[in-house]
Amino acid sequence: MSGSVSPLAPAAIADLPPIAGVRLAVADTGETYAARTDLMLALFDAPASVAGVFTTSQTASAPVELCREHLKGGMARAIIVNAGNANAFTGKRGESATAEVVRMLAEHIGCDERQVFAASTGVIGQPLDAAAITRHLTDLTARAGDAGFLDAARAIMTTDTFPKLAAATARLNGEVVRINGIAKGSGMIAPDMATMLGFLFTDAALPPEVLQPLLEEAVADTFNCITVDGDTSTSDTVLLCATGRGTAATDAADPALADFRAALHDVCLNLAHQIVRDGEGARKFVTITVSGAAHDAAAKRIAMSIANSPLVKTAIAGEDANWGRIVMAVGKAGEQADRDRLCIDIGGVRVATNGEADPDYREERVQPHMRGREIDIAVDVGVGTGRATVYTCDLTCRYIEINADYRS
Amino acid sequence: MSGSVSPLAPAAIADLPPIAGVRLAVADTGETYAARTDLMLALFDAPASVAGVFTTSQTASAPVELCREHLKGGMARAIIVNAGNANAFTGKRGESATAEVVRMLAEHIGCDERQVFAASTGVIGQPLDAAAITRHLTDLTARAGDAGFLDAARAIMTTDTFPKLAAATARLNGEVVRINGIAKGSGMIAPDMATMLGFLFTDAALPPEVLQPLLEEAVADTFNCITVDGDTSTSDTVLLCATGRGTAATDAADPALADFRAALHDVCLNLAHQIVRDGEGARKFVTITVSGAAHDAAAKRIAMSIANSPLVKTAIAGEDANWGRIVMAVGKAGEQADRDRLCIDIGGVRVATNGEADPDYREERVQPHMRGREIDIAVDVGVGTGRATVYTCDLTCRYIEINADYRS
């Protein structure tokens, strides 16, 4: 793992101001990474509204199951996150370990256990030692407020080569509210040491029943539209907590939420892009837009089929505008496409029109684009008005080196 | 293209005797590969029964569309196959080129056009010059019978590193019948120069309405249970032709077909395995069996999810018995699985039991297996009796090198 920062990393790390009502602390358990923090606590001064979305995996980790359960209460006093051990596929012992951490943290805070949320990321299948975390709880709660968002973003990293932060402000009922977000992940993937986690905090005053649909909507075309290798973690978790007092809106459809909705989308998209930019072995950031599909979901499936095709991804790594492979990936998606109306643009250059190579297409015209860091592919499949955009990276030998872990 | 023979190639190439009623010829068009045959004709002395299965791609090639149409007639006098140009995504011109080849071949033979079948494999999106093929038809038909099955298998290769042949005999109504098969493909994939083609010939006397269900059944758990990278060609085609006179059975459910059915399955499985063994960059042949699924189709989807997971495949390349990644791949398959009853065996060694690491598991116990050429993974997902076996290979840097085609 380790090593140098991804060449696709943002030029600067976002500087996030505090959010009223949120106090952060980090610690080094000494259990996982050498000389690095690997434990993060977010403590809320008062119960915060909370919304969450989780992996669709059938083999979800113990913390994911716990969060799903606690989310029913809609309120959070704390989130505890450890990096280095995913506590996934650890059976009943894994469930007990997470339950123990949460129970003890609730005791320290003096709150209902259901107001404590947990996330774990790291190795799958290794029993989690609850004591390695619980022995830090007194200290962490005492120091809550000492750490900033950058410290928190660093403490949840695993194979990440840079911390991921994003922020925005929005007008809500005449006031300016903030949204801060941190995330980790080298893809929507589950190598030994990766998973996607995202934690969003806002000082807006929004009840859980408003936050939840807003978060689901924001995640749908941001975190759920990225892929590094099509592999889905057992632990993917995104939580959104709102600390504001009162109630700025009682319905997610309230037009007053327009600006907040847009800001939340921006923060999620920014973090989602950063995860792709830290994709294992990634050298190019790829945006794939599919239009003309039967419906939006069909467009997304076609776009994901292109984004996950090893042949498309290796061609991009090779700076080869191999549009035949894009046709193949459209064809295998299992969604309606009109072969004789299919059009493909790469970097704004029309390469294929109505089912065959464009008569004006010359490979030299897309070569400068293919040599760049940002690759844009647009495909119109010619059957309807469905549309979707997804984000991925190229597939390089470095991905294989990182994941093959040659031992011989 | 080049290079050395796959380390997973069979020790010996099968030696196939002739099949009564089938005459083969090959030619070098000079259009594609240097000093290599790239055109194959199979001519039947009399109309043979024919069955076919094709790619499910929505962007199927012109020859696939033609075969689907001609299959309705159920009889074949000839199959013409060219390697080097897939004639896929070539629009109306592509359709015309295939139609022209087929029309002229029918003229040469003096048969109905609908009794001529065609397949093309190679580059996608490049117009096919019909004349490059038709100028050889006089010669090919005159020489029909000169070539053997090995010549035919060589003439249809693209990125294949070895020709793929398999044969079997079966008892049918007291007589011994033969089944010969040839195939090409470096995966169920569509790089510039690959696709899966299979041509099976038998001297059994079976009408098309019996052949078709037999072929579909045989393909279901052989050719349709292999994957190299999950990418599906626009041109995948398997044809089965029967030259025997009379009618040995009128119903595919006839118990008299038991031996033939088994032999057909063996030939298909043998060829399917050879395709995986020639997977681009493959160093290990991987068999994945999933049991305990809700039903067989669910088992196959879970098995394919494991087989197509880049993280599982890179772990195998690295000789790492990383069962956490297998859990992840089970979880993302979208099929029912009981996390707390999941069991995993690698090379016959139990690594995970009832949702956690097996208490007796020591990594040293599977290391000798992981270092071998043949890797066996068995997963029980603990919910039902559904079962499936699929075959794949590891994912190595060589795959990326082959497909990235670095130009810079």
Query: Per the CB < 8 Å rule, is B340 touching A404?
Result: no
> Confidence class of residue B194 from pLDDT cuts 50, 70 and 90?
low
Query: Per the CB < 8 Å rule, is B331 touching A408?
Result: no
> Confidence class of residue B328 from pLDDT cuts 50, 70 and 90?
confident
Identity of the residue in B88, B329, B400 whose CB atom sits nearest the CB atom of A400 = B400
Query: Per the CB < 8 Å rule, is B58 touching A336?
Result: yes
- pLDDT above 90 covers what percent of chain B? 73
Q: Give the span between the Cα atoms of B56 and A328, in whole angstroms.
A: 11
> Confidence class of residue B268 from pLDDT cuts 50, 70 and 90?
very high
The answer to whether residue B2 scores a pLDDT higher than 60 is no
Whether B266 and chain A come into contact, CB under 8 Å, resolves to: no
pLDDT at B146: 96
Residues of chain A in contact with residue B401, where contact means CB-CB under 8 angstroms, are 397
Please name the residues between 162 and 201 in chain A that touch chain B, using a CB distance below 8 Å.
189-192
Query: Per the CB < 8 Å rule, is B230 touching A318?
Result: no
Residue of A nearest to B394 (CA): A404
Average pLDDT of A103-126? 94
- Shortest distance, CA A381 to any CA of chain B (angstroms): 10
Residues of chain A in contact with residue B405, where contact means CB-CB under 8 angstroms, are 315, 318, 320, 322
The pair of structure tokens assigned to A363 is 């490979």
The answer to whether residue A352 scores a pLDDT higher than 90 is yes
Query: Per the CB < 8 Å rule, is A339 touching B60?
Result: yes
pLDDT at A406: 45
Average pLDDT of A79-83? 97
pLDDT at B191: 35
Other beta carbons less than 10 A from residue B3's beta carbon:
9
pLDDT at A17: 96
Residues of chain A in contact with residue B94, where contact means CB-CB under 8 angstroms, are 356
Q: Give the span between the Cα atoms of A395 and A68, in whole angstroms.
A: 33
> Confidence class of residue A188 from pLDDT cuts 50, 70 and 90?
very low
> Confidence class of residue A102 from pLDDT cuts 50, 70 and 90?
very high
Residues of chain A in contact with residue B396, where contact means CB-CB under 8 angstroms, are 400, 404
Q: Mean pLDDT in chain B?
A: 91
Q: Which residue shows structure tokens 């009889």?
A: B75
Element (H, E) at B210: helix B208-220
- Shortest distance, CA B246 to any CA of chain A (angstroms): 40
pLDDT at B105: 98
pLDDT at B408: 34
Strand partners of residue A167: A180
Average pLDDT of A46-67? 92
Domain spans of chain A, in order of start = 22-277, 285-404
pLDDT at B114: 98
- Under 8 Å between Cβ of A320 and A370: yes
How many CA atoms are closer than 13 Å to the CA of B156, on its beta-carbon side? Answer: 32
Q: Give the span between the Cα atoms of B15 and B351, in whole angstroms.
A: 41
Q: Using alpha carbons, select from B163, B154, B142 the residue that is nearest to residue B14.
A: B163
Three-class SS of residue A62?
helix
Q: Using alpha carbons, select from B310, B124, B232, B57 the residue that is nearest to residue A393.
A: B310
**pLDDT tens profile B223-257:** 988 887 766 677 889 999 999 998 999 999 999 99
| Mutation target among B159, B403, B405, B407 for the A interface, most CBs of A within 10 A | B403
Q: Which residue shows structure tokens 């993302």?
A: B332
pTM of the model: 0.87
Strand partners of residue A22: A44
Buried/exposed B120-154: b ≥16 CB within 10 Å, e otherwise: bbbbbbbebebebbbebbeebbebbeebbbbbbbb
Strand partners of residue A147: A24
Q: Among residues A195, A232, A234, A243, which one is catalytic?
A: A195
Identity of the residue in B59, B232, B337 whose CB atom sits nearest the CB atom of A337 = B59
Query: Per the CB < 8 Å rule, is B88 touching A399?
Result: no
Three-class SS of residue B375?
strand
Residue A235 CA, chain-centre distance (Å), reads 11
Average pLDDT of A240-265? 95
Residue of A nearest to B310 (CA): A229
pLDDT at A192: 39
The answer to whether residue A334 scores a pLDDT higher than 90 is no
Please name the residues between 123 and 162 in chain A that touch chain B, using a CB distance below 8 Å.
123-127
pLDDT at B188: 43
Identify whether A195 is a catalytic site residue: yes
The pair of structure tokens assigned to B13 is 């190439």
pLDDT at A405: 63
Query: Per the CB < 8 Å rule, is B317 touching A189?
Result: no
Q: Mean pLDDT in chain A?
A: 91
Is the Cα torsion angle A62, A68, A73, A77 positive or negative in sign? positive
**pLDDT tens profile B48-62:** 999 999 988 888 889
- Shortest distance, CA B99 to any CA of chain A (angstroms): 17
The answer to whether residue B120 scores a pLDDT higher than 90 is yes
Query: Per the CB < 8 Å rule, is A324 touching B125?
Result: yes
Degrees to nearest 5, angle at CA A403 with B408 and B189: 60
In terms of CATH architecture, what is B22-277? 4-Layer Sandwich (3.60)
Q: Give the span between the Cα atoms of B6 and A2, in whole angstroms.
A: 33
> Confidence class of residue B110 from pLDDT cuts 50, 70 and 90?
very high
The answer to whether residue B192 scores a pLDDT higher than 70 is no
**pLDDT tens profile B158-179:** 889 999 999 999 999 999 999 9
Residues of chain B in contact with residue A229, where contact means CB-CB under 8 angstroms, are 309-311
Query: Per the CB < 8 Å rule, is B400 touching A403?
Result: no
Identity of the residue in A125, A319, A331 whose CB atom sits nearest the CB atom of B58 = A331
Identity of the residue in A318, A330, A332 whose CB atom sits nearest the CB atom of B404 = A318
Q: Using alpha carbons, select from B195, B65, B197, B184 the residue that is nearest to residue B122.
A: B195
- Under 8 Å between Cβ of A109 and A43: yes
Residues of chain B in contact with residue A84, where contact means CB-CB under 8 angstroms, are none
How many CA atoms are closer than 13 Å to the CA of B302, on its beta-carbon side? Answer: 35
The answer to whether residue B193 scores a pLDDT higher than 50 is no
Query: Per the CB < 8 Å rule, is B405 touching A352?
Result: no
User: What interhelical angle do B397-404 and A397-404 show, nearest 10?
Assistant: 170
In terms of CATH architecture, what is A285-404? Roll (3.10)
Strand bridging mode B285-293 / B374-380: parallel
Q: Give the span between the Cα atoms of B117 and B47, in whole angstroms.
A: 12
**pLDDT tens profile B366-379:** 999 999 999 999 99
- Shortest distance, CA A138 to any CA of chain B (angstroms): 31
Residues of chain A in contact with residue B236, where contact means CB-CB under 8 angstroms, are none
- Shortest distance, CA B68 to any CA of chain A (angstroms): 16
Average pLDDT of A14-24? 96
Query: Per the CB < 8 Å rule, is B91 touching A354?
Result: yes
Q: Among residues B37, B159, B161, B195, which one is catalytic?
A: B195
Average pLDDT of B115-123? 93
Identity of the residue in B55, B91, B230 whose CB atom sits nearest the CB atom of A355 = B91
The answer to whether residue B20 scores a pLDDT higher than 90 is yes
The answer to whether residue A370 scores a pLDDT higher than 50 is yes
- Under 8 Å between Cβ of B353 and B343: yes
Residue of A nearest to B61 (CA): A339
- pLDDT above 70 covers what percent of chain B? 96
pLDDT at B187: 54
Three-class SS of residue A80?
strand
The pair of structure tokens assigned to B193 is 């120069």
Which of A228-242, B265-279, B349-363 has the least mean pLDDT?
Answer: A228-242
Residues 6+ apart with CB under 8 A from A281: A393, A395, A396, A397, A398, A399, A400, A401, A402
> Confidence class of residue A40 from pLDDT cuts 50, 70 and 90?
very high
Buried/exposed B69-97: b ≥16 CB within 10 Å, e otherwise: ebbeebbbbbbbbbbbbbbbbbbeebbeb
Query: Per the CB < 8 Å rule, is A332 touching B232?
Result: yes
**Cα–Cα distance list, B221 to A228, B226, B264, B333, B391 (Å):** 30, 9, 12, 19, 10
Return the DSSP state at A18. Answer: P
Query: Per the CB < 8 Å rule, is A339 touching B89?
Result: yes
Q: Give the span between the Cα atoms of B11 and B151, in whole angstroms.
A: 19
Q: Give the span between the Cα atoms of A324 and A312, in whole angstroms.
A: 9
Query: Per the CB < 8 Å rule, is B328 touching A231?
Result: yes
> Confidence class of residue B88 from pLDDT cuts 50, 70 and 90?
confident
The answer to whether residue A189 scores a pLDDT higher than 80 is no
Phi-psi region of B250 (alpha: psi -120 to 50; beta: other; left: phi over 0): alpha
Residue of B nearest to A231 (CA): B309
Please name the residues between 295 and 314 in chain A that touch chain B, using a CB distance below 8 Å.
308-311, 314
Q: Which residue shows structure tokens 């790829």?
A: A286
The answer to whether residue A191 scores a pLDDT higher than 80 is no
- Under 8 Å between Cβ of A203 and A19: yes
